[in-house]
Amino acid sequence: MVYKETNIGSAKPSANTLKKFPHHLVNIRSLKQIYSVAEFCKDSHRIIEEVHSRKKIPLFVGGSMMYFKSLLNGISQLPERDDSYREELSFKNKQEPGYLYNLLKTRDELYAKKIEPNDEKRIIRALEVIDKTGKLMSKHLDDKKGSGLQEKYEVLQLGINDENRELLHARIENRLEVMLDDGLLDEVRNIKQKYELKEGHPILRAVNYKQAFDYLDLHHDKKEFFNRALFASRQLAKRQVTWIRSWKNLHLFNINSQEEIERSVKNFL
C-alpha cells in the first residue's frame, strides 16, 4: 500500500476510508522508487514516537509479516541497494540457473541454509551485503543492537485465523473477482505504460500484480491468469497461517471474535 499507483491489486482502503480513518505509510512512494524493510523500520519508529507524543497508541494492521517481524525483532544497519550489481547477478543467474544459490553457499553457507534455493530476492540481497560490507548476512542478522520494538515497548500482538479452509478459499476467490470488476487489469496496464520497472522491483513479484503483468505480456490467457492469481493468493494465505501458528507471544482468535479481542485489548491497557 506504500505505492501510490497500486490501489486495486493491493486492496488499498478507499479514499473515503483513509479520510475518515487516517493511516500512516500509505501512498508514500512512487513506483519509480523501491521501499525497503529498513525504511519501513525507520519510518515506523518515527511514527510510533509521534503517535505517543499525542498520548495515543499506534496500531499496526495487516501487511507483510516479514516486515513486521523485522520491526519487532530489529534489523542491523545494512547498505543501500546497488541496482547495477543486482542486475549483474540476475543476468548471470539467467545464463546459469542455480548460479546465485551456489554462490551464496560458498560465501555464506549458514544463511543459505535458512532460505529457499529459488528465493532470488533474498539471495541477491545477501550477496550484495557481503560485497558492500565484507560481512556475512548471517552475522548481520545476529547484530541487531536492540533496535526491535520488543526491546523498547510493550507490544500486544493479536492474530485472526479462520480454521474453515473452504470458507477462506471462497472469500479469496470472491476478493479476486471484485478486484477484476474494479479494474485490476486496467490498473496494471496503466503501470506498464507509465513506468519501465526494473526486473527486481517488488511489484513485479507481488500477488495479483505478477499474474496480471504476465497476462498482459501474453504469457497466458485470461482464464489461466485468473487461476494463477487465485492459486498464488491461496498459497500466500497458507504461508501466513503457517507463520501465525509459529509466531511467539501471539494472541490468536478465530474470525468473528470481536468481543474477545476487545477484552484482550482492554486487559492489556
The predicted structure's pLDDT at residue 145: 57
Q: Which CATH architecture has domain 83-142?
A: Orthogonal Bundle (1.10)
Q: Where are the domains of the chain?
A: 83-142, 165-244
DSSP state, 13?
P
Query: Over the Cα atoms of the chain, what is R_g?
Result: 20
What is the pLDDT at residue 23?
93
Distance of CA 86 to the CA centre of its chain: 20
Instruction: Characterise 208 by phi-psi region: left (phi > 0), alpha (psi -120 to 50), beta (else).
Output: left
What would the pLDDT profile of 128-151 be if each residue is shown by its tens digit? 989 888 888 888 766 655 578 888
Q: How many Cβ atoms sit within 10 Å of the Cβ of residue 89? A: 20
DSSP H or E run through 236: helix 222-246
**pLDDT tens digit sequence for 52-98:** 999 999 999 876 788 888 899 887 777 777 888 888 998 898 899 99
Looking at residue 190, what is its pLDDT?
96
Cell numbers placing 109: 553457507
The CATH architecture assigned to 165-244 reads: Orthogonal Bundle (1.10)
State residue 142's pLDDT score: 67
Measured in residues, the chain has a length of 269
